[in-house]
Amino acid sequence: MSDTLTEKGSTEGMVDYNENSQAQRQNANRHAGLIRDLAARVSGLSDQLNITDYGCGPGQSAVDTVSPAVEHWFETRPDKQLSVCHADQPGNDWNALMKLIHGPEGYLKGDAAVQVRTSVGSFYERMMPDQSVTLATCFTASHWLSATLRLNAPETVWFADLTGENRSAMWAQAEADWKRFLRLRAEELQPGGYLLVSTLGAVPEPGEINEVAASGRGIYRALQHVTEEMATEGLLKRETADHFVFGLWFMTSDEARRPIETDPFLSKAYEIDTLEAANVDESGDLFSTFIDSPDEYARKYAGYVRAFACSTLRSQLFAPSAGSEADIDALETEFFGRLERLYREKTSDFAFEQWFTTIVLKRR
């Protein structure tokens, strides 16, 4: 059962994000046609068209997400004032992002007159003025919860393997956050505007723990394996390891839909356009192309996991077991060294299977 709430845990301050965000970039590009289509649907709404990308991150995926809308509006509505807002937390690498926006693959090519803005804060608070956003996007970010529950759950570091009261406590937090996120965006969207959320998801699977298969189950079970190993060897405090759970929830389509349909404010505010969870990679392994080269395969996985999990692990798992920054660094090196070794030895036993939940809502 939950005992306390710890500080916000997220991917703030991610390392090597652009090098290790292949899945996120693929996901943004998979949605390019949909973003262009939504941009077309809203282009007559106002003289000021704005796309805001919540939880934008620092990488090329942030550019790829907004580019189809910017290009469409620029081609078809050169008379309008166009703006893009990138919204994320203070620890995001804003300099890296600005370089990409202004670089050869950025969206400021030619004489495209587009205002670039940033909003720095949390998407669990207001990030934009009232009714100022025409098209809102949020890619692989809203599954990070506003707070991390501290649970007595020695068996796992991951929400989907929690059972009983632990699972209920985590879902209560996840559902409250989802509703809050949607309420805040409803205030920021122009009437008629759209919100597109693409988040790591989950699908029913008989026989799986809780009868649900969630994205990344291999990865999080690998993280649990290393955590348990290091706690057993006394490198991590047992108490910390037993209570640490990533502040994440990957929703099934039912979990995403129910709050929108049953909450009195949300059901009035939004019309559901699309809401589905789907497997996006038939191979069931993000790095399947490297499977014949275990060293490379393991490096890819360790790099990928480090990019999204490192800051959370440093603050919530390593720091309580360390006396100094140097100790935290050493634990990080040890942890990811072990993770890489695990992937080299066990390869696809811990493969990253991806289910994404896509939600498109129209602001009434």
Q: Tell me which of 141, 169, 213, 286 binds ligand SAM, using CB under 6 A.
A: 141
Q: What x-and-dash track marks residues 95-134 binding ligand SAM by CB under 6 A?
A: ---------------------------xxx----------
Q: Of the ranges 6-14, 38-46, 99-107, 321-329, which one interacts with ligand SAM (CB under 6 A)?
A: 6-14
Phi, psi of 237 (to 5 degrees): -60, 130
Shorter beta-carbon distance to ligand SAM: residue 216 or 218:
216
Tell me if 199 contacts ligand SAM by CB under 6 A.
no
Tell me if 55 contacts ligand SAM by CB under 6 A.
yes
Shortest Å distance, C-beta 44 to ligand SAM: 27
Tell me if 56 contacts ligand SAM by CB under 6 A.
yes
Tell me if 59 contacts ligand SAM by CB under 6 A.
yes
Shortest Å distance, C-beta 53 to ligand SAM: 7
Q: Tell me which of 18, 20, 28, 248 binds ligand SAM, using CB under 6 A.
A: 28
250 contacts 199 by C-beta, under 8 angstroms = yes
Phi, psi of 17 (to 5 degrees): -60, -45
Total length of the chain = 364
Helix or strand run (H / E) with residue 99: helix 94-102
Q: Tell me which of 18, 20, 92, 156 binds ligand SAM, using CB under 6 A.
A: 92
Q: Tell me which of 2, 18, 24, 190 binds ligand SAM, using CB under 6 A.
A: 24
**Any idea which residue has 């937390």 for tokens?**
89
Q: What x-and-dash track marks residues 34-53 binding ligand SAM by CB under 6 A?
A: --------------------
Shortest Å distance, C-beta 181 to ligand SAM: 9
Shortest Å distance, C-beta 55 to ligand SAM: 3
Among the listed residues 322, 352, 315, the one whose alpha carbon sits nearest the alpha carbon of residue 10: 315
Q: What x-and-dash track marks residues 304-343 binding ligand SAM by CB under 6 A?
A: ----x-----------------------------------
Contacts 24+ apart (CB under 8 A), 96-102: 96/17, 96/18, 96/58, 96/59, 97/56, 97/57, 97/58, 97/59, 97/62, 100/18, 100/59, 100/60, 100/62, 100/63, 101/63
266 contacts 182 by C-beta, under 8 angstroms = yes
Instruction: Give every CB contact of residue 364 below 8 A, 6+ residues apart in sequence.
Output: 191, 268, 269, 270, 271
Tell me if 88 contacts ligand SAM by CB under 6 A.
yes
Q: What is the C-alpha to C-alpha distance for residues 125 and 138, in angstroms, rounded to an integer?
A: 15
CA 182 centroid distance within chain: 16
Q: What is the C-alpha to C-alpha distance for residues 44 and 36, in angstroms, rounded to an integer?
A: 14
Q: Which residues make beta-bridge pairs with 361?
A: 195, 272
Shorter beta-carbon distance to ligand SAM: residue 140 or 190:
140
Shortest Å distance, C-beta 65 to ligand SAM: 6
Shorter beta-carbon distance to ligand SAM: residue 308 or 347:
308
Tell me if 21 contacts ligand SAM by CB under 6 A.
yes
Under DSSP, is residue 257 helix (H, G, I), strand (E, B) or coil? helix
Q: What is the C-alpha to C-alpha distance for residues 102 and 191, in angstroms, rounded to an integer?
A: 31
Site for ligand SAM, rule CB under 6 A: 10-12, 21, 24, 28, 55-57, 59, 61-62, 88-89, 92, 122-124, 139-141, 144, 308
